[in-house]
Amino acid sequence: QLQVQESGPGLVKPSETLSLACSVSGGPVSSSSYFWGWIRQPPGKGLEWIGSIYYSGSTYYNPSLKSRVSISVDTSTNQVSLKLSSVTAADTARYYCASGRSYYYGMDVWGQGTTVSVSS
C-alpha cells in the first residue's frame, strides 16, 4: 500500500529557499501508476494546491507560486521534492505531499504533513 511522508526543516529564514522531501513507500516514485502533488495550509486557513508532477516528467504549478516553486522526483531515494524560493512569512504553513493514480481518482493518499515557519 502506497504511503507518503513529508520531512524538512521546521524553520526557514525570510528570502531563503524552503526545501521539503516526500518519502514514498509501497511503490516506486517513477511509476506510471501515480502522480504526485504538494498542497499547503496556512494556520487556520484552507488548502492551497502548490503543484503536481506526473510520470512523464511534466510539472504544473499554481500560477501564484509558479515563479518560485519547483517539484521534482529523485528515483535514487524514492522521494518527491519541493523547493520554494524567496520565502516570506506568508509561506508559513503545513505542507502536505499527496499521491493519486490519475485525474479520475484524484489525490487519495496523503501524508501527515510537515509544518514550516518562516521567521528570522
User: Which residues of this protein are in contact with another protein, per CB under 8 A?
Assistant: 37, 39, 46-49, 52, 60, 62-63, 96, 103-108, 110-113
d(CA 85, CA 61): 14
- Nearer of residues 87 and 97 to another protein, judged by Cβ: 97
**Closest approach of another protein to the CB of residue 109, in Å:** 8
Closest separation in Å from C-beta 85 to another protein: 20
DSSP 39-78: EEE-TTS--EEEEEE-TTS-EEE-TTTTTTEEEEEETTTT
Instruction: Collapse the DSSP code of 89 into the 3-class scheme (helix H, G, I; strand E, B; otherwise coil) and give the result.
Output: helix
Residue number, 16 or 48, with CB nearest to another protein: 48
Give the nearest distance from C-beta 13 to another protein in angstroms.
27
